[in-house]
Amino acid sequence: MSTAMAINFGYFMKESAVSFRRNWVMSLGAIITIYLSLLLVGVSLGSGMLLGQVVESFEDKVSIRLFLKDGAPAEQVDAMQAELLANEMVDTVVYTSKEQALEDFKQRLMQDSPEVIESLASNPLPASLDIDLKDPRNVSMVVEQIKASQNFLAVADRPDDPAKSLEYGQEVVEKLFTVTRIIRLVSIVFVGMLAVISLIFINNAIRIAIYARRKEIAIMRLVGASNWFIRTPFLLEGVLQSLVGALLAIGTLSILYFYILPKLSELMAFLPLTMSGGDAAQVSLVLVVSGIVMGVGGAMLAMRRYLRV
């Protein structure tokens, strides 16, 4: 049995190679379309991962900062804090005093010229409550609740226009969400179209392979070759084509990953544009698997229509 299997395997490989030589133009067409569609799948997967990281890093920064007026009574600030903590959408509330705010400011922005700060006669920065949320997407809801709160009016830095006493990054996040949604949608549509085109190309390549071997197939049917024996070379050919396409796509993506991504990440140091080797391997795996699925699918399509066994 094992020798028979070995013979079969050799036979199948030989058949696929011969068939590739015989109609390499169609095979090349199939390979290129698979390559392009898998490349796009890879690029959109990878950029999706990067964008996800960017969005996440922004989300981390989305906290609500409630500025307190100078000399706000401590018990009212405590009441405000307690009210916020009672809100189930709120994760943590941290009080930052005027002195702390100045210190942070110095640390963050004026490291190179501390004398600017030293020269200030009084501390212009307000104290604040820094509110972190369990889910950053609830920002606007929490903000509305704060605005409606009596405690807030009592402690707000600018009672004339309380909205100005709140600072939060909602718009940035919402824009990012919209951008990622659009990118995702567009790439899904493109990948879908390319997948269909790839299927058509594989289907055509296999159809021609079947046509080229119709005499052999007729004889195989006649002498009782089993259905899978007749089909396997074509299936293998489809898989081979899509695997070559997948490997080319992975090669191209590797260039992007090893040479372009580090440059990009250097250029935009403020964004977390890095991808772990594990994630990259995952993308490659997805490409190989979807390539095989397309290859098998295209070959099956062709066999259903053109190969009567």
Partner 1 sequence: MISMRNVSKIYVPNKPPALDDCTVEIEQGEFVFLVGHSGSGKSTFIRLLLRELLPTKGQIVVAGQDLTRMKSWKVPFLRRNIGCVFQDFKLLPNKTTYENIAFALEVIGRSKHVIRTQVPEVLRLVGLEEKMESYPDELSGGEQQRVSIARAFVNRPPLLLADEPTGNLDPATSLGIMSLLNRINKTGTTVLVATHDREMVDSMRKRVIALEGGKVIRDQDRGVYGYGD
Cβ 296 to partner 1 shortest distance, Å: 19
Neighbours of 261 (CB within 10 A): 18
3-state secondary structure (DSSP) of residue 307: coil
Report the residue number, 223 or 267, with the smaller CB distance to partner 1.
Answer: 223
Report the residue number, 11 or 211, with the smaller CB distance to partner 1.
Answer: 11
Cβ 16 to partner 1 shortest distance, Å: 15
On whether the CB atoms of residues 37 and 145 are closer than 8 A, the answer is no
Burial code (b: 16+ CB inside 10 Å, e: under 16) for 220-237 equals beeeeeeeeebbbbbbbb
Nearest CA-CA partner of 291 in 216, 219, 145, 191: 191
The CA R_g of the chain, rounded to the nearest whole Å, is: 31
Burial of 203 per CB tally in 10 Å (0-12, 13-18, 19+): buried
Cβ 26 to partner 1 shortest distance, Å: 20
Report the residue number, 4 or 267, with the smaller CB distance to partner 1.
Answer: 4
Report the alpha-carbon distance of residue 96 to residue 105 in Å, rounded. Answer: 12
Report the alpha-carbon distance of residue 127 to residue 118 in Å, rounded. Answer: 19
Report the alpha-carbon distance of residue 139 to residue 83 in Å, rounded. Answer: 16
On whether the CB atoms of residues 298 and 202 are closer than 8 A, the answer is yes
Cβ 24 to partner 1 shortest distance, Å: 18
Cβ 36 to partner 1 shortest distance, Å: 35
Cβ 217 to partner 1 shortest distance, Å: 10
Neighbours of 97 (CB within 10 A): 14
Report the residue number, 108 or 215, with the smaller CB distance to partner 1.
Answer: 215
Report the residue number, 224 or 278, with the smaller CB distance to partner 1.
Answer: 224
Cβ 305 to partner 1 shortest distance, Å: 17
Site of interaction with partner 1 (CB under 8 A)? 3-4, 7-8, 11, 215-216, 218-227, 229-230
Report the residue number, 3 or 276, with the smaller CB distance to partner 1.
Answer: 3
